[in-house]
């Protein structure tokens, strides 16, 4: 089965990004496909490469980056939600005249159309939120 | 992408206080370009999103309630509101904005987009969808 995943809460405050991560791994282990994960609302904060949690805690962003690299998952961050919350890739930082970008490897910034497209193209859409 | 799916956007939160309502509406507006079979559901505090006479001047947050009245232009014409959620909050349909659309299959007659349904009917509406996005 093709499964689309949405993460709609931020890291550490909510468990949604962790649960989604475990869900995606389990789905893949059981022979399902997860072509894309879409990050929306505060979920976009998962994509910051500047996160430095204590060493004895899980590193949510690194986990996703590794999973995307390992399994070829398309991690999409909503551009409108990201810009509100100060998440920029290099192109957007330049375009908006900002002095830094902060998107982690494995994530890409794109539009909400990617969420709708995922809903159309997958057999199930699963949201992880509050 | 010729396939048409039934998309339901479920709105459960008050319009201000959190960003869910606004960012849900942004998905609906973008999603309209994909020509899917779209419905919106309003339940729990989500029914407050459709109330008339919203004034956000005191909180310094943009009032986006007028945008709901433009949904008809995006072919989003099914706004289901749960009766029990209205009742529980002391609201009636008269407290909601008049939101209409022009029916192209009926000589562009102006028709109400809001349909108040029971909790049981809402469950059926949810069960009949292909994609449910919850906000």
Q: pLDDT tens for residues B104-116?
A: 999 999 999 999 9
Domain total for chain B?
1
Residue B117 has phi, psi (to 5 degrees) of -130, 160
CATH classification at residue B26: 3.40.1260.10
User: Which residue in B19, B30, B132 is closest to A116 by CB distance?
Assistant: B30
- pLDDT tens for each residue of B51-73: 999 999 999 999 999 999 999 99
Q: Give residue B48's domain range.
A: 6-134
Model confidence at B1: pLDDT above 70: no
Helix (H, G, I), strand (E, B) or coil at B11: strand
pLDDT confidence of residue B2 = 58
Write down the catalytic residue from A5, A37, A78, A79.
A78
Strands (E), A1-130: 3-7, 36-39, 74-78, 107-110, 124-128
Output b/e per residue, A71-104; b: 16+ Cβ within 10 A.
eebbbbbbbbbbeebebbbeebeeeeeeeebbbb
Q: Could you tell me which residues come within 8 angstroms of residue A56 by beta carbon, excluding any fewer than 6 positions away?
A: none
Q: What is the pLDDT of residue B44?
A: 98
On whether the CB atoms of residues B44 and B12 are closer than 8 A, the answer is yes
Q: Is there a domain that residue B107 lies in? A: yes
Residue pointed to by tokens 């998440």: A87
> How deeply is B52 buried, as exposed, middle or buried, from its count of CB atoms within 10 A (0-12, 13-18, 19+)?
exposed
A78 is catalytic: yes
**Whether A119 and B134 lie within 8 Å, measured CB to CB:** no
Q: Tell me, yes or no, if A81 comes closer than 8 A to chain B by beta carbon.
A: yes
Where are chain A's structural domains?
A: 3-128
Quick check: A116 and B26 CB within 8 A?
no
Percent of chain B with pLDDT over 70: 99
What's the average model confidence in pLDDT over B94-101?
97
Of A84, A115, A120, the CB nearest to B27: A115
Do B34 and A115 lie within an 8 Å CB cutoff? Answer: no
Give the nearest chain A residue to B22 (CA atoms).
A41
In a domain, B14, yes or no: yes
pLDDT tens per residue, chain A (130 residues)? 999 999 999 999 999 999 999 999 999 999 999 999 999 999 999 999 999 999 999 999 999 999 999 999 999 999 999 999 999 999 999 999 999 999 999 999 999 999 999 999 999 999 999 8
Fold classification of A3-128 is Hypothetical Protein Ychn; Chain: A, (3.40.1260)
Measuring CA to CA, how many Å separate B58 from each of B54, B61, B62, B101? Answer: 11, 8, 10, 31
- Number of helices (H) and strands (E), helices first, in chain A? 5, 5
Shortest CA gap B40–chain A (Å): 15
pLDDT mean across residues, chain B: 96
In-domain check, residue B113: yes
Q: What is the mean pLDDT of residues B73-92?
A: 97
Q: Output the pLDDT for position A130.
A: 86
């Amino acid at each position: 089965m093709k499964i689309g995943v949405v993460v709609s809460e931020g890291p550490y405050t909510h468990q949604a990004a962790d649960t989604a991560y475990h869900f995606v791994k389990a789905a893949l282990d059981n022979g399902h496909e997860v072509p894309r994960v879409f990050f929306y609302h505060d979920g976009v904060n998962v994509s910051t490469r500047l996160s430095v949690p204590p060493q004895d805690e899980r590193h949510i962003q690194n986990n996703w980056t590794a999973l995307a690299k390992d399994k070829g998952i398309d991690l999409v961050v909503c551009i409108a939600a990201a810009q509100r919350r100060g998440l920029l890739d290099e192109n957007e930082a330049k375009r908006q005249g900002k002095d830094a970008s902060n998107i982690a490897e494995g994530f890409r910034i794109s539009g909400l159309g990617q969420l709708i497209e995922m809903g159309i193209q997958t057999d199930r859409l699963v949201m992880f939120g509050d | 992408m010729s396939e048409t799916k039934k998309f339901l956007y479920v709105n459960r939160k008050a319009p201000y206080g959190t960003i869910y309502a606004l960012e849900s509406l942004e998905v609906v507006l973008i999603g309209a370009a994909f020509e899917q079979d779209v419905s919106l559901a309003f339940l729990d505090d989500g029914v407050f999103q459709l109330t008339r006479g919203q004034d956000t001047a005191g909180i310094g947050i943009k009032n986006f309630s007028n945008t709901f009245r433009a949904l008809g232009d995006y072919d989003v014409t099914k706004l289901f509101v749960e009766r029990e959620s209205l009742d529980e909050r002391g609201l009636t349909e008269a407290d909601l904005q008049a939101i209409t659309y022009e029916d192209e299959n009926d000589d562009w007659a102006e028709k109400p987009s809001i349909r108040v349904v029971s909790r049981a009917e809402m469950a059926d509406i949810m069960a009949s969808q292909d994609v449910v996005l919850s906000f």
